[in-house]
Amino acid sequence: DVWPAEHVYCLAELGCTLRRLAALGAAAFYSGGIADTIVADMAAQGGWLRHADLARVRAVEHEPARGEYRGVEVVSFPTPGGGGAVVEALQILDRLPAAALRREGFDRQRLLLEATRLALADESRVTAPFPAAARELVSRERAAQRAGQIRADRALSTAELGGIGAPPWHDRDTTQLSVADRHGNLVAVTQTLGRIFGSYSATPGLGFPYN
């Protein structure tokens, strides 16, 4: 069944985990009570993860993907996230006539679609380590070359796109939540498990599946 638009889907266990993180910080996950719950479940199920493994995790900061659209700087999540493709698509569109993008209709939608197809094809072929991968995707030279491929009379073929081809599944496993308050504070949260819904397993009581 399809839920109606007003349906509220409540993840109470995940909400509890997020409240613990908000109150106690990341240490609760990697060395505190949440870690204890994870390790106990792993041991009970024959898993390999232990306290020492969680304690070794370190966040790695990367430079964001940066570009420009109509004089406005665009900053987004770099590879392995999809922000590089977003920036590239905008920079491809930046090379197209602004008037064509302002007019609602088929031609505008076609340009948006083709720019997105080109950017996603490029993203699928990137093999450089990040942050080099992000720079490779968002170069102005690449955007200019890709914009020049867009045809007025037909859609680009798969060969012209040059990507690795569509996988035999659909990416259904990423959830994006954006929240803004009346003071202008913004928070964006992305939960993603790749294309095969992670490991299909979860620790009871924590509210999230493992990647």
Active site positions, annotated: 174
Strands 174-180 and 72-76, how do they pair?
A: unpaired
- Cα–Cα distances (Å) from 168 to 91, 98, 164, 200, in that order, read 29, 36, 12, 19
The Cα 210–Cα 181 span in angstroms is: 30
Q: Give how far the C-alpha of residue 132 lies from the chain's centroid of Cα atoms, to the nearest Å.
A: 18
Q: Is 30 exposed, middle or buried (0-12, 13-18, 19+ CB in 10 A)?
A: middle
- Cβ 88 vs Cβ 138: under 8 Å: yes
Residue 72 has φ and ψ, to the nearest 5°, of -105, 130
Closest CA to 74 of 61, 60, 59, 84: 84
